[in-house]
Amino acid sequence: MQKKLLLLVNPVSGKSRVKTELLGILKVFSDADLDPTVYVTRRSGDATEQVVKVGKSYDVIVACGGDGTLNEVVAGALRIRFEGAIGFLPCGTTNDFANSLGIPKNLVKAAELIAEGEAKDLDFGSFNRLRTFIYVAAFGAFTEVSYKTDQKLKNMFGHAAYISEGIAHLTELRKYFVKVECDGEHYEGEYLFGAASNTLSLGGVMKLKAELVDMKDGYHEVLLVKNPKTAGDFAQLSTALLSGKFDNKSIQILRGKKIVFDCDEEIPWCVDGEFAGKFEHAEIHNLHKRLRVFY
Determine the pLDDT at residue 15.
Answer: 61
Which stretch of 24-38, 164-178, 251-265 has the lowest confidence by average pLDDT? Answer: 164-178
**Digit-coded pLDDT (tens) for 46-94:** 999 999 999 999 999 999 999 999 999 999 999 999 999 999 999 987 7
Q: Are 56 and 81 in contact (CB under 8 A)?
A: no
Packing angle of the helix pair 67-79, 46-54 (nearest 10 deg): 30
Look at residue 182 in the predicted model and tell me its pLDDT.
98
Instruction: Check residue 3 and give its pLDDT.
Output: 97
Across 37-46, 114-123, 165-174, 230-239, least confident range: 165-174
At residue 53, the pLDDT reads 98
Q: Helix, strand or coil for residue 77?
A: helix
- Number of H helices and E strands in the chain, helices first, is 9, 15
Residue 100 has pLDDT above 90, yes or no: yes
Strands 85-90 and 274-294, sheet pairing:
parallel
Q: Is the pLDDT of residue 199 over 80?
A: yes
240: confidence class by pLDDT, cuts 50, 70, 90: confident
Query: What pLDDT was estimated at residue 229?
Result: 82
Instruction: Report yes or no: 104 and 127 within 8 Å, Cβ to Cβ.
Output: no
pLDDT, residue 277, reads 95
Decide if 295 contacts 97 (C-beta within 8 A).
no
The band of 126, judged by pLDDT with boundaries at 50, 70 and 90, is very high
Mean pLDDT score of the chain: 88
How would you classify residue 204: left for phi > 0, otherwise alpha for psi between -120 and 50, otherwise beta?
Answer: left
pLDDT of res. 203: 66
Non-local (6+) Cβ contacts of 206 within 8 A are 223, 241, 242, 244
The region that residue 276 occupies, defined by phi over 0 for left and psi between -120 and 50 for alpha, beta otherwise, is: alpha
Lowest-pLDDT range, 65-79, 162-176, 241-255? 162-176
